[in-house]
Chains A and B, each alone.
Chain A
Amino acid sequence: MTQPGTESWSEVPQGGTVLLPGSTERNLTGSWRTKLPIIDFDKCTHCMICWVMCPDSCFKTAEGTLQSVDLDHCKGCGICASECPVKCIEMVPEERD
């Protein structure tokens, strides 16, 4: 598609209807983060509490096991660390260039 915000008035979708399901994915909200979640996979029980409590759908799973955190979108809220029953997630200060 055309780059967002460059279409002429006659090209924009009629009535402002959005036809790009889930397209917010391109907004990299990870840039908001000031704290970074670090998972200790040795302690993780794959209970998926972090997965269900994450406001930003950042916990990536495969076949019922936790794989990684989507740092492109993680806003660093720390709910996962607070709620993890085995305390295997630690929030550490985000270091940026």
Chain B
Amino acid sequence: MVDTRERPVSDDAVEAAPSTAIAVNGGEAIAYALKQIEPEVVAAYPITPQTLIIEKFAEYCADGVVRTEYINVESEHAALSACVGASAAGARAITATAGPGLALMFEMLGVTSGMRLPIVMHLCTRALSAPLNILGDHSDAMAMRETGWVMLSGSSPQEAYDLALVAQTVAEHPDVMLPCANLVDGFMVTHAVERVDVLPDDVVRDYVGEYEPETSLLAEGSTATYGALDFRDYYFEHRRQQEAALYASQPVVEASLKRFGEISGRHHQILEPYRMDDAEVVLVFMGSAEGQAHAAVDAARAAGVKAGALRIRLLRPFPVDAIAEALSGARVVGVMDRAIGFGSAVNPLLADIKSALWSRTDRPLMKGFVYGLGGRVVTLGQLNQALGELVSAFESGEESTTTTYLGLREDPESAEVSS
């Protein structure tokens, strides 16, 4: 499986380390990153579609390839709880989960960020129950947004690997010290086998370094009390400090991505623009719909529409200014939500985008789409339909406040409304 041939290096990566190309799915790509990071502790509970990561990593442990202590916990809540104990003890601790597993962890998500423990989680995004569904959407990730984690999102096995390394450096940065989630689309990325270029072990080690906390439970002479009761005299101050740290993580993410570009030749940004230079009609999305989105943009461009796409790579902290800047030329913006924000003013990603653009006097027309729930196949046709609606809005100058559900079997009587 391992292709040991050196890749030809691209022009813009003359100093980058020689990568090795391997053919793996997204889950195994993350496991490979974990092997290279070799954290002290991994604690995880099996859940589809995350199992690929932990099964592969368990093999590394069983073969003695890594010196990691792998805790096979009895639930996802325990997975994150064990990571909290390990991280406070001075260890680098990593977990992975999906959908309902994240829901079961919920209490500990806020505990982890509130205690300022730089745990990394690989979240294989999955639909939430009920009805029970094991397939991909972003319901879990969107429910996690307010828990104080840095949230990175990729679109491919390659990016799953890359961001697994980046997440580590962001979380543990002294200005951040917050947990970081690497969002990986369930099945569409976790189970997709693609070419993944992996860096040499020593380059990864150098990039991620070691976790050296200022205090820990196991430090010689330690008397630290972690997780004390915080009452009305201090809680507010601690929460404000935590908020500041999360906002402070954005430049750290940018610097980590830059440094990663230097060692890998893969230059990721917090936003991934596609044909955005003169784009007037823009699709904003997150995750693995990139292929369809780009193809739809290409088709629209071929038809003479100044179309573009913008993928969100940093979901939290939400890069408000960068988004406003990236969309400064857009006249119509369609936001693709792979989750429903039940009862909210609008769906989650649209809400974020609307907030980011609110202070602009020349706000573009905005329109919400929901797609791909519970693993519903995301097609080029759906993206073409979305762009088509945006073009109509562009031409009419009228904003549609209704949500369009792409790929949904519509009620025949209301089908006209959303087509």
Contact = CB atoms under 8 A, between A and B. Distances in A.
The answer to whether A binds B is yes
Interface of A: 4-5, 7-10, 12, 14-19, 21
A17 B226 contact: yes
A9 B241 contact: yes
A10 B227 CA distance: 18
Contacts of B117: 15
Give chain A's interface secondary structure class: loop
A7 B236 CA distance: 12
Given A16-B114, A16-B234, 13 more contacts: A8-B237, A9-B236, A9-B237, A9-B241, A10-B244, A12-B238, A15-B117, A15-B238, A16-B228, A17-B224, A17-B225, A17-B228, A19-B225
A19 B222 CA distance: 9
Nearest to B226: A17
Interface string B230-265: 100110111011101000000000000000000000
B115 A16 contact: yes
Contacts of A10: 241, 244
Contacts of A5: 233-234
Given A9-B240, A10-B241, A15 B116 contact: yes
A21 B241 contact: no
B177 interface: yes
Nearest to A6: B233
B375 to A, nearest CB: 38
Nearest to A14: B116
B237 to A, nearest CB: 4
Contacts of A18: 224-225, 228
A12 B239 CA distance: 10
Contacts of B224: 17-19
Interface of B: 114-117, 177, 215, 223-228, 230, 233-234, 236-238, 240-242, 244
Nearest to B231: A5
A18 to B, nearest CB: 4
A4 B114 CA distance: 20
Nearest to B242: A15
Query: Which 5 A-B residue pairings sit nearest by Cβ, starting from the closest?
Result: A15-B116, A21-B223, A18-B225, A9-B240, A9-B237
Contacts of B228: 16-18
Contacts of B234: 5, 12, 16
A14 B244 contact: no
Contacts of B227: 16
Nearest to B112: A15
A40 to B, nearest CB: 38
A15 B240 contact: no
A18 B223 CA distance: 9
Contacts of A9: 236-238, 240-241, 244
Contacts of B116: 14-15, 17
B177 A14 contact: yes
Contacts of B115: 15-17
A50 to B, nearest CB: 27
B237 A15 contact: no
Contacts of B237: 7-9, 12
Contacts of A14: 116, 177, 241
Nearest to B240: A9
Contacts of B240: 9
Nearest to A7: B237
A8 B237 CA distance: 7
Contact of B114 (A8, A12, A15, A19): A15
A17 B241 contact: no
Given A17-B215, A21-B223, A12 B241 contact: yes
Q: Which of B226, B230, B234, B242 is the most central at the interface, judged by chain A CB atoms within 10 Å of its CB? A: B234
A18 B227 CA distance: 8
A5 B233 CA distance: 6
